[in-house]
Amino acid sequence: MAQVIKVLARYHEVSIVFPSHDLVELPHYISKSFVLPKLGSQKNTFSVRPKLGADILGLHEQRLSDFLEQVDTDFIYWTHSYLPAGVPALFKRYAYKSIVEFANIEGQRFSSMAKVATLKPRIKLLLESVKAKFWEPNIAKSALVSVALSSNDADQLNKWGANVLLAPNGVDYTPMESAGPSGYLLIFASMNYAPNVAATLSFVNNIWPQISKVHANLELVIAGRSASKLEFGPTQNVRIISDPISQDPIYQGAIATVIPTNSGGGSQLKITESLQRKRLCLISPYTLRTAPADLFEFLAGYVFHDARTCLELIDQVFVESARQKLENDIAENISELSWDKTMHDVLDTLEH
């Protein structure tokens, strides 16, 4: 969201509302801010409201209402669909000037997460999925604009009768030099998120051993928040980098990244974070569904289904000269995907 706010602030005065325990130093382009104290979770398991939205905003409805009256904003940009659903009465009052970003279709996301969860979490996830079938279409139809990040999500929002704009993540191009001959394969993701854990363990246990037999000197690096908590058996050439301070040095050493997710959301961000550094993404079919529309055709050539197809893709990036050609192809494919361009339709809506 930082990039979205930055783009919006180039053309408009932007006030932001966010929960925090700590003092936060905000960038100069933020006109005004309002910090909501974190008050803990609500007992809302059996409420029709989404748990995340109710936890973040549910106890702050009056504070938020007072702030919105004070700033008298022209538009409200809700950074996730579950936020307005957490304060339904307030949203109803301001729906006519609300732009709601659907980072995912929550009913589908929770349903996919439930498929790989154990019994107790599965029940909670399925309940959230059922709840989303009630609040999610209503939010989409009521908002002035619903923003989708992928074509698949845009199609679903259109089916619900929403006024939809497609605005995928932009690419903040920061090209790097190619990795040297000792480059590694990289999985970079937060391991506090169950779908990332499930996908990573599946890759390590089921695909990596066969790749390692063929490329005995190739290393798999798993990096991200809480990566040290991953538990898997003895595996050749796997290195963990937990809670890294900076992403760039880790991407620098990679010949390619692997995004193996088969449930949940958030894959589009990992795609753009990798491509902006000229690192090819080897992706699962599920991940491809979330890709920016302008990159779909390019990325479709780098989908793996099993160890054999993954190995075929690794062979393409293993040779340095071939990898450099692929990196040039990446640069060409992302050259027109600046945040200003991907946000163009949203900016145009705000202007008119």
pLDDT tens track, the chain, 352 positions: 889 999 999 999 999 998 887 777 888 999 988 998 877 666 666 678 999 999 889 889 999 999 999 988 999 999 999 999 999 999 999 999 999 999 999 999 999 999 888 888 899 999 999 999 999 999 999 999 999 999 999 999 999 999 999 999 999 888 888 888 889 999 999 999 999 999 999 999 999 999 999 999 999 999 999 999 999 887 889 999 999 999 999 999 999 999 999 999 888 999 999 999 999 999 999 999 989 888 999 999 999 999 999 999 999 898 888 888 999 999 998 988 999 999 999 999 998 7
Q: Which residue has the tokens 């933020």?
A: 30
Please check whether residues 188 and 104 belong to one and the same domain. Answer: no
- Measured CA to CA, the distance from residue 165 to residue 149 in angstroms comes to 9
User: What confidence score (pLDDT) does residue 321 get?
Assistant: 87
**179 within a domain of the structure (yes/no):** no
- Compute φ and ψ for 143, nearest 5 degrees: -65, 150
Angle in degrees, 0-180, between the axes of helices 344-351 and 2-11, rounded to the nearest 10: 40
What b/e string do you get for 258-293 counting C-beta neighbours within 10 Å, with b at 16 or more? bbbbbbbbbbbebbbbbbbbbbbbbbbebbbbbbbe
Tokens of 119: 């019994």
**275 within a domain of the structure (yes/no):** yes
**129 within a domain of the structure (yes/no):** yes
Query: What CATH number did the domain enclosing 85 receive?
Result: 3.40.50.2000
Q: How many domains does the chain have?
A: 2
- Measured CA to CA, the distance from residue 50 to residue 28 in angstroms comes to 33
**213 within a domain of the structure (yes/no):** yes
**175 within a domain of the structure (yes/no):** no
Please check whether residues 188 and 45 belong to one and the same domain. Answer: no
**118 within a domain of the structure (yes/no):** yes
Furthest-apart CA atoms within the chain: distance in Å: 64
Q: Which residue has the tokens 């640069």?
A: 331
